[in-house]
Structure 1
Amino acid sequence: MASLHYLPPVKPSAVALGTLFTHTTNLAVMAPLFGESYQKAMNADSKQEWIKSKEAAKTATLWGSNVIGSGAQTYAIAALLTQTGVLTYKGAAYVGALIFAATSVPTVVSQLFQERRPAEYIAIRATAGLIETVGLSVFLTWWGIRPAHDLLR
């Protein structure tokens, strides 16, 4: 059975702020979906009617899963930065770029050649992916990711 002591310690405030950073980036990409849901809520006869609707459940699920995913992504990137000993912005940008290459580039290539998505869509998704990886890595390095007790060693 795995033990939690194998997970690298990360400053809780870095995880909280990184989650907010990533969640905000994701919301910017998903804004059209939330805007559509907001319009349906405004057009509903009552707030209670909308709250009971499928759109409300879908929006709440999407929002909640986005927060959880943002938190997991933030911890994972912070843990990688900690384990690799990255202390500079340049190093953080390199690690973020490697994460982007491993997680987003295959999707971009697939969307470009196999799915034949519009270039604007691919550019927006790629930009969001860069912000979520490279931007988050640099942000976490700026904020500091090591807990105080690790700095004393």
Structure 2
Amino acid sequence: MATLQYFPAVKPSAIALGTVFNHVASLGILTPVFGDTYHRAQAANSKEEFFKSKEAASAAAAWSSSLLGSGVQCYGVGALINATGTLSYKGAAYLGSLIFFASSAPSFISQVVTERRPLDTIAVGAVARVFETVGLSLFLTWWGTRTNPFD
């Protein structure tokens, strides 16, 4: 059985604030889902009818999975910042860029080359992912991630 001692320590306030930061950045991608849901809610005859609808369920699932994913990603970036000993904004920007290129760049290349999606759609996703990686690492460096800064 794995114990928590094997996981790098990250300041809980950094995880909480980073999760909010990251979740707000990812909501830019989910805005069309919530916009559709908002219009369905206005068209519904009652609150009960809306809450039983498929749109409400999908919006709740998207929101909660995005929030959970934001928290896990925030912990991972904070742990990387601590493990690499990153103290400067320049180092945080490099680390965030590496995370971006490792996790998001392949899908953007695929969207351009094979799927031939519109460039404006790809650009919105890319900007959101840059905020979620580079912006998050800069934010966490600013806030601080170490539980004991003298370690």
Question: Same fold by TM-score, threshold 0.5 exceeded?
Answer: yes
Task: Give the Cα–Cα distance (whole angstroms) in 1 for the partners of residues 31 and 102 of structure 2.
Answer: 26
Structure 1 stretches of 5 or more lacking a match?
none
The answer for the alignment partner of 1:78 in structure 2 is: 78
The answer for the alignment partner of 2:4 in structure 1 is: 4
Question: Structure 2-normalised TM-score?
Answer: 0.97
The answer for the alignment partner of 1:51 in structure 2 is: 51
Instruction: Name the Cα RMSD after superposition.
Output: 0.9
Task: Give the Cα–Cα distance (whole angstroms) in 2 for the partners of residues 20 and 81 of structure 1.
Answer: 18
Task: Give the Cα–Cα distance (whole angstroms) in 2 for the partners of residues 85 and 12 of structure 1.
Answer: 18
| Counterpart residue identity of residue 108, structure 2 | V
Question: Structure 1-normalised TM-score?
Answer: 0.96
The answer for the alignment partner of 1:146 in structure 2 is: 146
The answer for the alignment partner of 2:65 in structure 1 is: 65
Distance 1:94 1:142, change over 3 A: same
The answer for the alignment partner of 1:129 in structure 2 is: 129
How many residue pairs end up in the alignment? 151
| Counterpart residue identity of residue 48, structure 2 | Q
How much does 1:5 deviate? Answer: 0.7
How much does 1:2 deviate? Answer: 2.8
- Aligned partner of residue 115 in structure 1, secondary structure: coil
* Superimposed CA distance per residue, residues 84-125 of structure 1 (whole angstroms, 9 cap, x where no aligned partner): 000000000000000000000000000000111100011111
Percent identity between matched residues is 54
Task: Give the Cα–Cα distance (whole angstroms) in 2 for the partners of residues 128 and 22 of structure 1.
Answer: 9
| Counterpart residue identity of residue 110, structure 1 | S
- Aligned partner of residue 146 in structure 2, secondary structure: coil
